[in-house]
């Protein structure tokens, strides 16, 4: 079972809380702009955009915000030019971190994100020293109360998924990015709702964390990074023990 998914619920709760403050809307809007710029503003012709719109709606992002972000991406409305940048580093306990950002000022973003690393006693790692240990994958989370495992397995495997796991009331479906939309569409056709569906970075191996102080420090580090307005996602290879996970959930 992947450590990433074991604490996915914590991140989802944080995302829901951020949505109430509008912070997650800003991050999704940036993603919408980039995806619309790359593949066009018609979700029927742009599968990545269609998936992202579903993500936006799962956080109750207003339709006006979604439409405005798409129009900025297609050039119908003026907007700043955003660039994608990636930073790599390590947290306490040798936990690897990948930070992706969308920014209109790379120098500012690098300085601010570096400052967060410094505050947590770390610094940027050499280029590709962390990235080479992660793989880009589609990851879909489905509540186990919404569908039987056998039925879900048949649907996602037929659509091209490579793995299905169950944990704490949820199913995790993993697939190659090339078939991600096919799997999402198959679930939608079967009227199976998803908790989350995204292209993410999953590590080749996980680092177990059984010390709650180490886990708390890593989570604080990640939260501080995510609080930066330019940061879109933070990926790690932390695998918290069940006891530590429960403590983290209670604190979230």
For the chain, which residues make up each domain, given as ranges? 3-74, 83-131+206-246, 133-203
Cβ(3)–Cβ(241) under 8 Å?
no
Look-up: residue for tokens 């940061």?
231
Q: Bigger pLDDT: 1 or 231?
A: 231
CATH fold match for the domains 3-74 and 133-203: no
pLDDT at 17: 61
Kindly report which listed range (146-155, 162-171, 178-187) carries the lowest average pLDDT score. 162-171
pTM over 0.75: yes
3, pLDDT greater than 50: no
Dihedrals φ, ψ of 75, to 5°?
Answer: 90, 5
The architecture that CATH gives domain 83-131+206-246 is 2-Layer Sandwich (3.30)
- Does the structure show a pLDDT above 80 at 193? yes
Instruction: Answer whether residue 231 shows pLDDT above 90.
Output: yes
Structure tokens at 106: 């790379």
Q: What is the pLDDT confidence band of residue 239, given thresholds at 50, 70 and 90?
A: confident
pLDDT of residue 1: 33
Stretch 72-76: mean pLDDT: 95
Instruction: Report pLDDT for 38.
Output: 92
**Is the confidence at residue 98, as pLDDT, over 70?**
yes
Q: How confident is the model at residue 187 (pLDDT cuts 50, 70, 90)?
A: very high
Maximum distance among all Cα pairs of the chain, rounded to whole angstroms: 51
Give the model's confidence band at 195: pLDDT under 50 very low, under 70 low, under 90 confident, else very high: confident
pLDDT of 95 over the 80 cut: yes
CATH architecture of the domain 133-203 equals 2-Layer Sandwich (3.30)
Sheet containing 96-103: which strands, arranged edge to edge? Answer: 83-90, 96-103, 231-236
Given a cut of 80, whether residue 164 has pLDDT beyond it is yes
Tens digits of per-residue pLDDT, 15-60? Answer: 656 655 678 889 999 999 999 999 999 999 998 898 889 888 888 8
Measured from the Cβ of residue 208, the count of other Cβ atoms closer than 10 Å reads 12
Strands (DSSP E) along 44-152, which ranges?
A: 83-90, 96-103, 134-143
Task: Choose the weakest-confidence range: 36-50, 91-105, 212-226, 232-246.
Answer: 232-246
User: Is pLDDT above 90 for 244?
Assistant: no
Structure tokens at 232: 């879109």
> Taking residues 184-196, what's their average pLDDT?
90
Closest CA to 235 of 246, 247, 245, 221: 221
Architecture label for domain 3-74: Orthogonal Bundle (1.10)
- pLDDT at residue 10 greater than cutoff 80: no
Residue 247 clears pLDDT 80, i.e. is over it: no
């Amino acid at each position: 079972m992947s450590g990433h998914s074991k604490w996915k619920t914590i991140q989802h709760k944080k995302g829901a809380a951020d949505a109430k403050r509008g912070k997650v809307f800003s991050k999704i809007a940036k993603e919408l702009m980039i995806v619309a710029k790359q593949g066009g503003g018609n979700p029927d012709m742009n599968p990545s955009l269609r998936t992202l719109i579903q993500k936006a709606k799962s956080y109750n992002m207003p339709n006006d915000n979604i439409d405005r972000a798409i129009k900025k991406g297609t050039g119908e409305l003026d907007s700043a030019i955003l660039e994608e940048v990636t930073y790599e580093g390590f947290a306490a306990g040798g936990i690897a971190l990948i930070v992706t950002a969308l920014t209109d000022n790379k120098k500012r973003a690098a300085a601010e994100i570096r400052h967060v690393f410094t505050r947590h006693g770390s610094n940027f790692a050499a280029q590709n020293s962390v990235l080479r240990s992660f793989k880009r994958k589609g990851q879909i989370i489905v509540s186990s109360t919404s569908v039987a495992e056998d039925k879900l397995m048949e649907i996602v495997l037929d659509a091209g998924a490579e793995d299905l796991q169950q944990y704490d009331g949820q199913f995790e479906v993993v697939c190659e990015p090339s078939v991600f939309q096919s799997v999402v569409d198959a679930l939608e056709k079967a009227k199976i709702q998803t908790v989350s569906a995204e292209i993410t970075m999953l590590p080749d191996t996980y680092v177990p964390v059984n010390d709650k102080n180490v886990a708390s420090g890593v989570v604080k580090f990640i939260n501080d990074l995510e609080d930066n307005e330019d940061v879109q996602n933070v990926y790690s290879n932390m695998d918290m023990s069940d006891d530590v996970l429960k403590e983290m959930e209670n604190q979230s």
